[in-house]
Structure 1
Amino acid sequence: MPISNDFSQRLYPKLPDIAAHFGTPFHLYDEEGFRETGRQLQQAFSKVEGFREYYAVKALPNPSILRIMADMGFGFDCSSIAELILSRQAGAKGEDIMFTSNNTSLEEFMAAQEEGGCILNLDDINLIDKVPEMPELVCFRYNPGAARSGNSIIGKPTEAKYGVTHEQIFAAFEKARARGAKRFGLHTMLASNECNASYMVQTTQMLLDLAAQIGQTLNIQFEFINIGGGLGIPYRPEEAVFDVALLGEETHKLLEAFSAKQGYKPKVYMESGRYITGPHGVLVTQAINSKETYRNYVGVDACMSALMRPGMYNAYHHIAVLGKEPSPQDPLVDVVGSLCENNDKFAIQRALPKVEEGDLLIIQDTGAHGQAMGFNYNGKLRPQELLLKADGSVERIRRAETLEDYFATLSFEPKAWSGSL
């Protein structure tokens, strides 16, 4: 979807100078957009006592961005040691962090329990015995199986590698309590980039129903439910914006009904990433070539290694050509990078204004799962990241990779094995 008028009006007039100063390609993020979406989310859940967003670090793991999230009062959803370190460097402590991982190693568990620990969200009943020390507060990720549907990104719940089954969930809490857990949470995440608010309302209802069943069976109360992330954004111009106000209002009603029957209200947590930052980022790249064969191609100086979603998911990202307005006569082109892969395409048969070498293309909605999913195939280097700050200035918040970075792992102490002890 085209970025907001506010974002484009603040960015586009400055973009030629920004590109000349920093060079292309680059990801650029909008601080004002982040903060406005954060305000909207908190307002939508203002009636839900104890609501908290745990920003999904995997979406945009940059220290400058995480400090903005912390300033808004958000916690952090982590699934690796690096994400734990980033979150703690941003000021997160203890239960400011939700650690949700799968196939978790002992090293990762030990890191999660350092520096005051965190909320441990276990993905597998078999992990209970592998936790070095069972914390007082423990949560499990629930997978309802065939009872619910997922979507193309995560897949059907019955085929997803995530979570504890309905048959296992009661035993999981009982086993964790036997190891010393005294406080409990319940989590799920069934879909990614879900644009239907009613689906998320149903997810909230599912968790509350399950919390009531487990509570009655095991005589425990849940401190919180975590309805997961997955709130979608409208990548395509014709798609509607997620109705977060509806989700907040319906969640409030469901909690009131739960409280009337159960005598208490769990807190509600969420771990959105894409919803918070996705619409407020762009990948700016320069046209460096044109090619006319069986199709017309626009070659740019960025490639799939900077934004793999189109190649991986056939995902749509809206593209604007700076200074040129679309018209019904626009030619169809493929916008491509330089990788030795035919899926290195940002757009396929997209109608765009006539692109000339030197034009700036703005690939939109890259504020989540863009730079974070970057890679080095073909020896390509990931681009720099910039932040359009609230005062209108632009700051580099991550430099581009260099050849020295790429070759750094080839400098090491020799180590070999001869085949005998």
Structure 2
Amino acid sequence: MKKPFVTDEKLKEITATIPTPFHLYDEKGIRENTKAVKQAFSWNPGFKEYFAVKANPNPTLIKIMGEYGCGCDCSSLTELMLADAMGFSKDQIMFSSNVTPKEEYILADKLGGIINLDDFTHIDFLEETLGAIPEVISCRFNPGGLFKMSNGIMDNPGDSKYGMTTEQLFEAFRVLKAKGAREFGIHAFLASNTVTNEYYPMLAKILFELAVKLQKETGCHIKFINLSGGVGIPYQPDETPNDILAIGEGVHKVYDEILVPAKMGDVSLCTEMGRFMTGPYGCLVTKATHEKHIYKEYIGCDASAVDLLRPAMYGAYHHITVMGKEDQPCDHKYDVTGALCENNDKFAVDRMLPKIEPGDLLVIHDTGAHGYSMGYNYNGKLKSAEVLLKEDQSFEVIRRAETPKDYFATLDGTSEYKKMFPNG
């Protein structure tokens, strides 16, 4: 059974000063996990984790991981601006985007970040935009077909909009080298949220064999190989968490089998994990506000899909703990909902939980990645606060909740705004 990283007593202390809903993060868990990732790949001297900013763009959390040498994986102009504002630069930034506008390539180059090209046609576009191809460049690979692991996990790269085909990748390296690139990287992302220690070693084998062939046939020096993300977390209570130390050793074994004999033992490895880095170390704290008894039993909360979109968007499972009732039997079946005018605004469907009464605090687990970051303002709902539970058990707001003033701010200066708010 999943247990929250915060006690009922501590949560009542927090909610006495910070109104629900809010996302709560576990500083101790993030630090310990980041150290474990660093240890798992310590055998590779050039290893670097580029935290996927898209997963959680909170500067406080990113700076914590930065203390252990993590960089930023950015995918947009504002994410690049955020990384820059936090002091990240040059090889601390990996820029992996698609359908990329000129201004994003310009800023990535200005910051000295490593550009990871998603498409063959972007080579000429990048050269025209920057005036020259950077000396260090990466390309994203899509092998097509299906990617299947022995434990039944399958993804379909052939149906993905990302990356280059095998033929395009080889031609891209030749063209980029002719245009002045001197050092190359390979990147691939083939499966999402894998809860298995097999994924990274299997992906590494594909990319290592590809790297040997690329370097031999194109003469391009492979400087780094980026395993991207895909290492997942156990959203379901009966799932076994990944063992990052075992994963690191599995990649090490493949590295020694393939790259070292090919005299490519100087290749650095990168990862771009988001979910694994912060996912389990965040939760959405919400209060039960209403109960409804019609064809089903409903519990209404003050949080909604604007605070956590994954259940509405994917039907994703997030475990729920009713605080203070952890030891009570789960003998009531509920749909746990928000207040949006959409019937998919549900955190749980037909979920067996203890009896819930208005005023009970609910902890919705595993929202530390792709939680707050996927929020929006439908129905005029305002995004909630983010709170850090520190190692010493004190807490602080690391992003305030939005206010109606924030909601209307983008109208400021328009004639309609002036009519609506003549006094500013």
Alpha-carbon separation, structure 2, partners of 1:292 and 1:54: 48
CA-to-aligned-CA distance 1:86-138 (integer Å, 9 cap, x gap): 112222110100000000010111111123x2111000010011112311100
Aligned partner of 2:110 in structure 1 is 114
For the pair 1:33 / 2:29, whether they are aligned, the reply is: yes
Alpha-carbon separation, structure 2, partners of 1:26 and 1:156: 35
CA-to-aligned-CA distance 1:57-114 (integer Å, 9 cap, x gap): 0111011111111111101100001111111222211010000000001011111112
Instruction: Identify which of 93, 98, 102 aligns with 1:97.
Output: 93
Aligned partner of 1:273 in structure 2 is 274
Which is further off, 204-213 or 238-247? Answer: 238-247
Report if the CA contact (8 A) 1:153-1:192 is conserved.
no
For the pair 1:139 / 2:142, whether they are aligned, the reply is: no
Aligned partner of 2:67 in structure 1 is 71
Aligned partner of 2:296 in structure 1 is 295
Aligned partner of 2:13 in structure 1 is 17
Residue 327 (structure 1) shift: 4.4
For the pair 1:180 / 2:191, whether they are aligned, the reply is: no
Alpha-carbon separation, structure 1, partners of 2:180 and 2:15: 56
Alpha-carbon separation, structure 1, partners of 2:90 and 2:29: 28
Alpha-carbon separation, structure 1, partners of 2:14 and 2:146: 50
Q: Does the residue aligned with 2:339 lie in a helix, a strand or coil?
A: coil
Aligned partner of 1:220 in structure 2 is 220
Pick closer, same or farther for the CA change 1:329–1:88 going to 2, 3 Å.
closer
Residue 220 (structure 1) shift: 2.1
Pick closer, same or farther for the CA change 1:317–1:188 going to 2, 3 Å.
same
Give the letter for the 1:25 counterpart. P
Report if the CA contact (8 A) 2:44-2:269 is conserved.
yes
Give the letter for the 1:376 counterpart. N
Runs of 4+ in 1 over 6 A off after TM superposition: 150-154
1:331-342 aligned within 5 A: 331-342=332-343
Aligned partner of 1:258 in structure 2 is 258
Report if the CA contact (8 A) 1:58-1:369 is conserved.
yes
Pick closer, same or farther for the CA change 1:396–1:329 going to 2, 3 Å.
closer
Give the letter for the 1:350 counterpart. R
Q: Does the residue aligned with 1:172 lie in a helix, a strand or coil?
A: helix
Residue 261 (structure 1) shift: 2.3
Aligned partner of 2:392 in structure 1 is 391
Report if the CA contact (8 A) 1:295-1:333 is conserved.
yes
Aligned partner of 1:80 in structure 2 is 76
Report if the CA contact (8 A) 1:70-1:90 is conserved.
no
Aligned partner of 2:48 in structure 1 is 52
Aligned partner of 1:130 in structure 2 is 125
Alpha-carbon separation, structure 1, partners of 2:41 and 2:243: 12
Q: Does the residue aligned with 1:239 lie in a helix, a strand or coil?
A: coil
Aligned partner of 2:231 in structure 1 is 231
Q: Does the residue aligned with 2:16 lie in a helix, a strand or coil?
A: helix
Alpha-carbon separation, structure 1, partners of 2:229 and 2:240: 18
Alpha-carbon separation, structure 1, partners of 2:31 and 2:315: 29
Pick closer, same or farther for the CA change 1:153–1:299 going to 2, 3 Å.
farther
For the pair 1:352 / 2:347, whether they are aligned, the reply is: no
Report if the CA contact (8 A) 1:154-1:160 is conserved.
no
Report if the CA contact (8 A) 2:147-2:155 is conserved.
no
Alpha-carbon separation, structure 2, partners of 1:251 and 1:357: 49
Q: TM-score, normalization: structure 2?
A: 0.93
Pick closer, same or farther for the CA change 1:140–1:177 going to 2, 3 Å.
same
Percent sequence identity over aligned pairs: 48
Aligned partner of 1:189 in structure 2 is 189
Give the letter for the 1:120 counterpart. I
Aligned partner of 1:418 in structure 2 is none
Q: TM-score, normalization: structure 1?
A: 0.94
Report if the CA contact (8 A) 2:225-2:270 is conserved.
yes
Report if the CA contact (8 A) 1:236-1:316 is conserved.
yes
Which is further off, 313-322 or 241-250? Answer: 241-250
Pick closer, same or farther for the CA change 1:228–1:236 going to 2, 3 Å.
same
Q: Does the residue aligned with 1:225 lie in a helix, a strand or coil?
A: strand
Alpha-carbon separation, structure 1, partners of 2:176 and 2:208: 20
Aligned partner of 2:164 in structure 1 is 164
Structure 1 residues without counterparts, runs of 5 or longer: 416-421
Residue 221 (structure 1) shift: 2.3
Q: CA RMSD in A?
A: 2.0
Aligned partner of 1:378 in structure 2 is 379
Report if the CA contact (8 A) 1:154-1:192 is conserved.
no
Give the letter for the 2:412 counterpart. S
Aligned partner of 1:317 in structure 2 is 318
The number of residues matched between the two structures is 410
Pick closer, same or farther for the CA change 1:154–1:127 going to 2, 3 Å.
farther
Q: Does the residue aligned with 2:72 lie in a helix, a strand or coil?
A: strand
Alpha-carbon separation, structure 2, partners of 1:383 and 1:175: 48
Report if the CA contact (8 A) 2:288-2:301 is conserved.
yes
CA-to-aligned-CA distance 1:285-334 (integer Å, 9 cap, x gap): 01110000010000000000100000111111111111002544520001
CA-to-aligned-CA distance 1:154-203 (integer Å, 9 cap, x gap): 95111100001112110011111122110100010111111122122110
Report if the CA contact (8 A) 2:208-2:259 is conserved.
no
Alpha-carbon separation, structure 2, partners of 1:33 and 1:260: 35
Residue 252 (structure 1) shift: 1.2
Give the letter for the 2:140 counterpart. R
Aligned partner of 1:419 in structure 2 is none
Residue 264 (structure 1) shift: 2.3
